[in-house]
A = this chain, B = another copy of it.
Amino acid sequence: MELETVVGAYARVAELYASLLGSVEQVHRDDLALVERHLGHLRGPVLDVGCGPGHWTEHLRSLGVDASGVDPVPPFVEHARATHPLGRYDVGALPDPGPRDGSQAGVLAWYSLIHVEPAGLEPALAALRRLLRPGGTLVLGFFDGERVEPFEHRVVRAHRWPVDEVSRRLAAAGLVEVERARRPAEEGHRPHAAVVARAA
């Protein structure tokens, strides 16, 4: 899916989306714990790629992390700035979201790559890898699946991915898996997966 299609789809629903999903209160506590465990103690900068309304960025900041957010959807960036005026939020997208190569101790890409076409995943992972310092940590959240396949997401078409497949592609991009998490479908939520990887 073209970036502008995705941006347009999110821009149309940004206010409702932010109102209903723009808070870590809506986040599963296991996900919160995973992100905190891997990014919450980092001393260097952390980039929240595809930050949406900014709730993850703000949560990391509340833990003392030097986190900033970047998102391709301008209404999300405006919302994040208005809601969290002390945070830093910029409009930007992969492959070049802004910070210079090798500058980040951590990168959070929470459901940020779900709208990337399968052929676009490797370049996207390579771009995330470039942002990281050696030894830096990537946390990736996405829809779990038995195979790579598209589905009609509530905003715009997305893909689900098998964790092993994502892990292989991370390795190809120079990111070594250090932890994974999976959660089956529950109450209106599709199967979830997360992978934590370290920049080699």
Contact = CB atoms under 8 A, between A and B. Distances in A.
A29 interface: no
Nearest to A12: B12
A111 to B, nearest CB: 14
Contacts of A20: 16, 20-21, 154
A4 interface: no
Nearest to A155: B16
A16 B188 contact: no
A3 to B, nearest CB: 19
Nearest to A19: B154
Contacts of A25: 187-188
Contacts of A17: 16
A31 interface: no
B154 A15 contact: yes
A150 to B, nearest CB: 16
Interface in A1-44: 12-13, 15-21, 23, 25
Interface in A92-107: none
Interface string A157-200: 00000000000000000000000000000011000000000000
Interface centre among A16, A19, A21, A25 (most CB of B within 10 A): A16
Contacts of A21: 20
A23 B21 CA distance: 16
A154 B16 CA distance: 5
A50 to B, nearest CB: 17
A18 B23 CA distance: 19
A93 to B, nearest CB: 21
A122 to B, nearest CB: 29
Contact of A16 (B16, B23, B187): B16
